[in-house]
């Protein structure tokens, strides 16, 4: 039997309806080559820790002529900027950059003017990127979006405000100005604004979602709006975000449930899924067709294995889910363009440090990255006991991964007697073990190095059916 087409986690389907060898655990591994699994890259520090507070918002602004390229972080009571074009230096407090303690800061851009807002402090704007000016008459609000040549702001109640056409700084209600507001009906307050299929989407914390086309307000027939406004991210115009019932996608028609394969990690009867408060605050980002959402500590309902600092990862291209475990849980994310026009992924964490993912990093800022793959084989004949004679495993030569096997006739994980088969440093590991006897063969591949990459291609097994137990 050949197990050479490893997908993502899928714990929604009965074990006997899955393909043999399908993964039950996938920690810090992802699909690079289809059918194989690669260990994720690590990360290193980016700039300093500023005030030592965890960043609540991270975003980028690039001027129209590309002469200015800044990253921004909201942490503690300040908004900071970092000069990407210089590629050096530290976080600097923005002019007029005092904000409410630990506030999230929203942003939008119109005609080369960056405008920012939070739930309590004044709405502000900048054209130079480093110093902000209070925006006269602009409403207070955290959720900003540019649409129909206006800036829309919401977030304190049910009123959605918009600026004068082609002017992010003009919020006058008289003269030639045409700024105004619309009432977003339905329970709750506004908790998100974003664009989808050339329409403005407005979400409320009750789950109500509305669509505005600059003429009429339409209710989307769903109560599955994004519970965390910070969890929404976009891939090719398709929006993904977290709801208390799972991760939902929206492409302009109806919300679609994407997370059935990992539902038990989101909510389950044991209460070991995502913690309640996290559903309102979880941050996420999309980067190179991958969606990342920080959900904190949880225990997988199926395997009963804890996952510290869990990040749910969705591969948009392959429709696969994985679990990442960082040594520092991200509190905010940002996918940005560096001075060399390369796409980069960064995040902020507790202690105030920001980190950048890197294809050359083999550690999490000096800490080893532990990766785990786990699954089991039933040969589509779970009633038969087998003698598992040989296993041949395949990986990249030079890796430091280890293979463990266990045979059992039950699903009781505590009774598994794991046999350490050795390492895969030669790229091929041949295991001959006559004592592996049982209905099922369990396998586990672990790797915890600081200096080598790891790719697992799969394995084959030879077995004899020896009858009933």
In a structure prediction context, what are the per-residue pLDDT tens digits for the chain, which is 469 residues long? 899 889 999 988 887 887 888 899 999 999 988 989 999 999 999 999 999 999 999 999 999 999 999 999 999 999 999 999 988 789 999 999 999 999 999 999 999 999 999 989 899 999 999 999 999 999 999 999 999 999 999 988 999 999 999 999 999 998 889 999 999 998 999 999 999 989 999 999 998 999 999 999 999 877 678 999 999 999 999 999 999 999 999 998 889 999 999 999 999 999 999 999 999 999 999 999 999 999 999 998 888 889 999 999 999 999 999 999 999 999 999 999 999 999 999 999 999 999 999 988 999 999 999 999 999 899 988 899 999 999 999 999 999 999 999 999 888 887 888 999 999 999 999 998 778 999 999 999 999 999 888 999 999 999 999 876 5
Same domain assignment for residues 30 and 75: no
Sign of the torsion angle spanned by Cα atoms 183, 186, 188, 192: negative
Report the candidate in 128, 66, 44 with the shortest Cα–Cα distance to residue 92.
128
Same domain assignment for residues 447 and 415: yes
CA distance 52 to 143: 25
Report if residue 366 sits inside a domain: no
CB contact at 8 A, 422 and 429: yes
Phi, psi of 250 (to 5 degrees): -140, 125
* Complete DSSP assignment for 218-245: EE-S-S---S-GGG-EEETTEEEEEETT
Report the candidate in 357, 276, 279, 352 with the shortest Cα–Cα distance to residue 324.
357
Report the candidate in 243, 286, 283 with the shortest Cα–Cα distance to residue 266.
243
Tokens coding 455 = 């790719």
SS3 263: helix
- Residue listed under structure tokens 């598992």: 388
SS3 17: helix
Terminal alpha carbon distance of the chain: 21
Domain of 418 in residue numbering reads as 2-40+371-467
pTM: 0.95
CB neighbours of 175 closer than 8 A, spacing ≥ 6?
none
Domain count, the chain: 2
SS3 417: coil
Any idea what the CATH number is for the domain that residue 169 is in? 2.130.10.10
Q: Which residues pair with 61 in a beta bridge?
A: 70
Same domain assignment for residues 144 and 70: yes
Same domain assignment for residues 63 and 94: yes
């Amino acid at each position: 039997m050949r197990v050479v087409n490893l997908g993502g986690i899928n714990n929604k389907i009965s074990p006997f309806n899955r393909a043999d060898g399908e993964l039950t655990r996938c920690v810090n591994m992802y699909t690079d080559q289809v059918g194989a699994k690669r260990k994720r890259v690590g990360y290193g520090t980016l700039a300093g820790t500023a005030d030592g507070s965890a960043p609540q918002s991270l975003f980028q602004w690039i001027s129209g002529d590309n002469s200015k390229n800044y990253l921004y972080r909201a942490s503690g009571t300040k908004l900071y900027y970092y000069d990407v074009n210089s590629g050096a230096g530290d976080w600097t407090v923005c002019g007029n950059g005092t904000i409410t303690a630990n506030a999230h800061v929203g942003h939008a851009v119109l005609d080369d003017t960056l405008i920012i807002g939070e739930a309590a402090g004044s709405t502000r704007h900048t054209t130079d990127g480093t110093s902000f000016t209070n925006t006269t008459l602009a409403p207070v609000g955290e959720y900003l979006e540019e649409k129909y040549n206006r800036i829309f702001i919401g977030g304190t109640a049910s009123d959605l405000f918009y600026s004068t056409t082609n002017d992010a700084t003009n919020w006058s209600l008289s003269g030639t100005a045409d700024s105004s507001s619309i009432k977003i009906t339905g329970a709750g307050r506004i908790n998100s604004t974003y664009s989808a299929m050339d329409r403005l989407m407005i979400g409320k914390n009750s789950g109500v979602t509305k669509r505005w086309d600059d003429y009429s307000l339409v209710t989307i027939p769903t109560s599955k709006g994004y519970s965390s406004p910070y969890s929404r991210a976009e891939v090719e115009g398709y929006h993904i975000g977290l709801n208390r019932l799972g991760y939902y996608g929206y492409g302009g028609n109806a919300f679609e449930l994407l997370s059935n394969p990992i539902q038990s990690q989101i909510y389950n009867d044991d209460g070991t899924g995502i913690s309640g408060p996290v559903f309102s605050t979880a941050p996420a980002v999309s980067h190179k067709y991958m969606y990342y959402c920080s959900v904190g500590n949880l225990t997988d309902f199926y395997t009963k294995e804890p996952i510290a600092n869990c990040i749910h990862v969705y591969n948009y291209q392959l429709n696969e889910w994985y679990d990442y475990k960082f040594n520092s849980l991200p509190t905010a994310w940002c996918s940005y363009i560096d001075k060399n026009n390369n796409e980069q992924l960064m995040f902020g964490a507790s202690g105030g440090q920001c980190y950048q993912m890197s294809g050359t990093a083999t550690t999490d800022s000096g800490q080893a990255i532990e990766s785990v793959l786990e699954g089991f084989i039933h040969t589509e004949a779970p009633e038969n006991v087998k003698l598992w004679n040989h296993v041949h495993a395949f990986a990249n030569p030079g890796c430091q991964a280890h293979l463990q096997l266990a045979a059992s006739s039950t699903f009781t994980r505590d009774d598994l007697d794991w046999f350490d088969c050795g390492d895969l440093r030669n790229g091929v590991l041949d295991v001959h073990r006559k004592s592996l006897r049982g209905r099922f063969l369990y396998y586990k591949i672990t790797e915890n190095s600081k200096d080598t990459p790891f790719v697992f291609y799969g394995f084959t097994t030879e077995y004899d059916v020896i009858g009933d137990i």
